[in-house]
Structure 1
Amino acid sequence: MPSTPIASLLILYGLIGIAVVSDLRHHRIPNLLILTGLALGLVGQLFSGGPGGLGQGLLGGLIGFGLFLLLYAVGGMAAGDVKLMGMVGVFLTPAQALGATAASLMAGGLCGLALVVWRGQLRQTLGRYGLMLRTQTYLAAVPGEVAGQPFPYAIAILLGTLASSLWFHFN
C-alpha cells in the first residue's frame, strides 16, 4: 500500500496545529488555512505520485469531507471541522483518510467524555442520554452542562490523525 511521505505528514501536522490554536482562541478555522492546506496537499500528492497520487489525494479529501459533512448535516459538527477533515484527507491515501476520520471521531468522543468526567457531569449527561433513549426525543443540554458547549474539534482531528498515522506506519 502506498504511504504518505514524512515531509507531507510534517506539513499536515503543522497545519492542523495552527488550526488547533485558532480553534482554541477564536472558535473558528480560517478558510485561508484550509485552502493553503488543500493546495499543499494536492501538490504534494501530484509530486510524489503523479496523476494517480493526485487522484488518491482528491479521493482522500472527499472521504474526510463527506463523512464529517454527514455529522454537520445533523448538527453534530461545525463547518470548519468538516473543511479541516477534508484538508487532512488530501494529504493521505483513501485508506489513510478513512482511518484518520474514524480515529478523529473516536478521539472526539474520548475528549468529550473526558470533559464531562472532568467537570463532574457524567451522571447528569448519562441521565439525559438515557432519557432521550427511553423517550426517543432529543433533549437539549441544560445551561451550564458541558455537553452543550462548543468543543474545539480541531484537537480531536489532530489526535486522530496522529494516532492513525502511527497505526498505518506500524502495520
Structure 2
Amino acid sequence: MSAESLSAIVVLLGLLGIAVVGDLRSHRIPNLLILLGLGLGLAGQVHAAGFAGLGNGVLGMLIGFTVFIPMYALGGMAAGDVKLMAMVGTFLTPHDALSAALLSLIAGGVWGMSIVLIRGQLKQTLQRYWLVLTAQAYFAPTADEVAGKPFPYSVAILSGTLVSLFWQPLGQ
C-alpha cells in the first residue's frame, strides 16, 4: 500500500468517524462534511492518477449513490446516508466502491437485526413484516417498535467500508 493510498484511507476514515458521531448525536450528516469529502476524494484521485483518477472517483461516487438510492426511494434510509456512500465512493476504485456499498448494506442488516435482538423485539418485528408482506400494505410502526426509531446508518457505512478496505479473502 502506497503512502498516497494510506493517506486517502486515513482521511476517508476520519470523515466517516465525524459522520458517525454526528449521526449518533443528532441523526444528521452535515452537507458540508459530504461536500468536503467529495472534494477531498476527487482531489486525491486526481493527485494519484490524473484524469483517470478523476474518472475513477466520479464512477465510484455514482456507484455508491446508485446502490443506495433505491433504499432511500423506498423509505429505508435518509438522503444523508445516500450522499455519504457517494462520498465514500470518490475515495475508492469503482470495484472497491461497489464492494464497500454492498458490504455496507449487509452491515446495515446485521446492525439492524442486532438492535432488534438486543431490544427483544424479534417476534414483534417478524410479525410486523409478515403483515406488510401478506397485506401488501404499509403499516406504521408503533411508538415502542425499533422499526419506528431512527437508525444511524453511517455506522453501517463505516463498518462496510472498513471490511471492504481491509478484508482479503483467504488465499489471495
TM-score normalised to structure 2 length: 0.93
Name 1:154's counterpart in structure 2.
154
Query: For the residues of structure 1 that align with 2:69 and 2:168, how far apart are their CA atoms?
Result: 24
Query: For the residues of structure 2 that align with 1:169 and 1:32, how far apart are their CA atoms?
Result: 36
Name 1:163's counterpart in structure 2.
163
Name 2:134's counterpart in structure 1.
134
Name 1:98's counterpart in structure 2.
98
The residue identity in structure 2 corresponding to 1:133 is L
The residue identity in structure 2 corresponding to 1:156 is A
**Deviation for aligned residue 1:142:** 1.4
Question: Secondary structure at the residue paired with 2:167?
Answer: helix
Q: Does 1:43 align with 2:43?
A: yes
Q: Which runs of 5 or more structure 2 residues have no equivalent in the other structure?
A: none
Q: Contact 2:22–2:28 at 8 Å: present in 1 too?
A: yes
1:46-125 alignment to 2 at 5 Å?
46-125=46-125
Query: For the residues of structure 1 that align with 2:96 and 2:20, how far apart are their CA atoms?
Result: 21
Q: Contact 2:67–2:102 at 8 Å: present in 1 too?
A: no
Question: Secondary structure at the residue paired with 2:137?
Answer: coil
Q: Which runs of 5 or more structure 1 residues have no equivalent in the other structure?
A: none
Q: Contact 1:96–1:168 at 8 Å: present in 2 too?
A: no
Q: Cα–Cα, structure 1 residues 168 and 93, in superposed 2: closer, same or farther, change >3 Å?
A: farther
State how many pairs are aligned.
168
Name 2:13's counterpart in structure 1.
13
**Deviation for aligned residue 1:114:** 0.4
**Deviation for aligned residue 1:119:** 0.4
Query: For the residues of structure 2 that align with 1:140 and 1:161, how far apart are their CA atoms?
Result: 31
TM-score normalised to structure 1 length: 0.93
Q: 1:12-61 CA distances to partner (integer Å, 9 max, x unpaired)?
A: 00000000000011110111111111111001000111100110010000
**Deviation for aligned residue 1:67:** 1.7
Q: Contact 1:63–1:98 at 8 Å: present in 2 too?
A: yes
